[in-house]
Amino acid sequence: MATVLNLPGPRARSIIERDRDVISASYPRAYPFVMDHGKGSQVWDVDGNRFLDFAAGIAVASTGHSHPAVVKAIQEQAEKFIHISSDFYHEGWVRLGERLDEIAPFSEPAASFMTNSGTESVEAAIKLARYTTGRSQFIGFFGGFHGRTMGAVTFTASKNHYHKGFFPLMNGVTHAPYPDSYRPILASLNGESYGETVVHYIEKEILGKIVPPEEVAGILVEPIQGEGGYIIPEAGFFPALRELCDQHGILLMVDEVQSGMGRTGKWWAIENFGVEPDIVCAAKGIASGVPLGAMIARKRLMSWPKGAHGNTYGGNPLACAATLATIDLLESGYMENASRVGAVALQKLETLAQRHPSIGQVRGMGLMIGIDFVKDQQTREPDEDMRDMVVDLAFERGLLLLGCGKSVIRFSPPLSLTLDELEEGMEIFEEAVEIAEENVRTLAA
Ligand code: PLP
């Protein structure tokens, strides 16, 4: 039995009270964890409680918390210079561009625009797609999450509170169903896969009836939906989508902000589906927690001239140093570790799911795993209350988890997670599920 912690402790409580006075109330705090320090996949709160971190700051701390190599790279850069601005040059920035060109999922040269966040990478992709195609329209997907700035939030369609109070949004985005074969909303005909059904829907219903294809600049899609519920499209989806894009000169823009940088065992999740995109949006795990994002495109598409797009902090020297150290660590073992430990985690969770009727489906690739809670295995009705209860019970027992979608818990730990840490986390997780199921049985009796 895991120890039950008395949370939040006195120091945490006092900091949360001060936070309420001065920090925007819009931040979506999950539960009262107040961080003091972290090492690898473990974190400690300000009252000295230790937690295993299976959330990694929303899939960001890819090399674990404060990896010595990342800390050293930041320290060494900080001693030299912290900022110079995008009006000038520095070698770390160029080196990072070269590394991104090496790992970009294109069979031709790539060029990158550095940003400070995921949403800014998406904004850059939207602007480049419009600029380079001369077209104005886009297609996004229901359940998608792409950020909260005006362009990106227009594509975001996971919950309506991201839009509430902010209309009018950007003009020119039409949404299609995401190929979620666990809860399909379209009927598949002629034995085709659900992925193909979705592409046919886009072709016939959206391009055929609403937006002429010759006016569509790009289709923006997450290779695995993140906030939408860790949903993996069927194998047939991306090849059919790529073909549709090629047929009409539409750019395939993949948002790899959450799924990229080694999390699925490959640099980019799209590589698991055998197609090449035209533009990749990256952020989160790219710099182990230092704010850096990148919009990486086929070089021939970066047709825009000097001044068309820019930013003050893009290519920030500290962030570039942290990213270069992160890429080296992922390449020299952590990406492979994500594959290996992720496969063990998936298999353990599938076995665990057989013992727990509240779990409808476990799905994942590498260390991007979703556990979907249902009220009924047959109807697959999402069980949000059960999910929330499990997250809270796990927190009280020293495991940080985050929800996504309507009823999903995501496992998105650092890619350095060890098998021992996985084992410890799994024990706490199963105890939390057992207690939550018992609570529901007692309430129903
Ligand atoms: N795109 C995806 C797929 C994301 O998961 C997120 C954040 O969760 C974003 C974009 C936005 O990133 P940021 O919060 O850094 O702006």
CA of 226 to the centre of ligand 1 (A): 9
**Per-residue H/E/C for the chain:** CCCCCCCCCHHHHHHHHHHHHHCCCCCCCCCCCCEEEEEECEEEECCCCEEEECCHHHHCCCCCECCHHHHHHHHHHHHHCCCCCCCCCCHHHHHHHHHHHHHCCCCCCEEEEEECCHHHHHHHHHHHHHHHHCCCEEEEECCCCCCCCHHHHHHCCCCHHHCCCCCCCCCCEEEECCCCCCCCCCCCCCCCCHHHHHHHHHHHHHHHHCCCHHHEEEEEECCCECCCCCECCCCCHHHHHHHHHHHHCCEEEEECCCCCCCCCCCCCHHHHHCCCCCEEEECHHHHCCCCCEEEEEEHHHCCCCCCCCCCCCCCCHHHHHHHHHHHHHHHHHHHHHHHHHHHHHHHHHHHHHHHCCCEEEEEEECCEEEEEEECCCCCCCECHHHHHHHHHHHHHCCEECEEECCCEEEECCCCCCCHHHHHHHHHHHHHHHHHHHHHHHHHHC
pLDDT score of 189:
81
CA of 160 to the centre of ligand 1 (A): 16
Task: Report the atom number in ligand 1 closest to the C-alpha of 222.
Answer: 3
Spatial separation of the C-alpha atoms in residues 432 and 178, rounded to whole Å: 31
Task: Report the atom number in ligand 1 closest to the C-alpha of 291.
Answer: 15
**Mean pLDDT in residue range 233-247:** 96
Establish how many alpha carbons lie within 13 A of residue 136's alpha carbon, considering only the half-sphere containing its beta carbon.
4
Which residues line ligand 1 at a C-beta cut-off of 6 Å? 58, 117-119, 122, 145-147, 222, 226-227, 255, 257-258, 283
Torsional class of 7: left (φ above 0), alpha (ψ -120 to 50), beta (otherwise): beta
pLDDT score of 188:
86
Core vs surface per residue 137-164: b (16+ CB within 10 A) or e: bbbbbebbbbbebebbbbbbbbeeebee
Task: Report the atom number in ligand 1 closest to the C-alpha of 149.
Answer: 16
Which residue has the CA at smallest separation from atom 5 of ligand 1?
A: 258
Does position 379 have pLDDT exceeding 90, yes or no?
yes
Q: Return the CATH fold of 85-315.
A: Aspartate Aminotransferase; domain 2 (3.40.640)
Same fold, 10-66+334-444 and 85-315: no
Span 56-108, pLDDT tens digits: 999 999 999 999 999 999 999 999 999 999 899 999 999 999 999 999 999 99
List 411's β-bridge partners, or say none: 369
Span 124-148, pLDDT tens digits: 999 999 999 999 999 999 999 999 9
To which residue do tokens 């076995």 refer? 351
Q: Which of 293, 300, 261 is nearest to 278 (CA)?
A: 300
- Cut 0.95: pTM above it: yes
Which residue has the CA at smallest separation from atom 10 of ligand 1?
A: 146
Q: Return the CATH fold of 10-66+334-444.
A: Aspartate Aminotransferase, domain 1 (3.90.1150)
Which residue has the CA at smallest separation from atom 7 of ligand 1?
A: 147
Mutate to test the pocket of ligand 1, among 60, 116, 122, 146 (most ligand atoms within 8 A of CB): 146
CA of 229 to the centre of ligand 1 (A): 14
Per-domain residue ranges of the chain: 10-66+334-444, 85-315
Does position 178 have pLDDT exceeding 90, yes or no?
yes
**Are 400 and 56 within 8 A, CB to CB?**
no
Span 248-295, pLDDT tens digits: 999 999 999 999 999 999 999 999 999 999 999 999 999 999 999 999
Task: Report the atom number in ligand 1 closest to the C-alpha of 283.
Answer: 15
Mutate to test the pocket of ligand 1, among 253, 284, 368 (most ligand atoms within 8 A of CB): 284
CA of 121 to the centre of ligand 1 (A): 9
pLDDT score of 191:
86
CA of 282 to the centre of ligand 1 (A): 9
CA of 227 to the centre of ligand 1 (A): 9
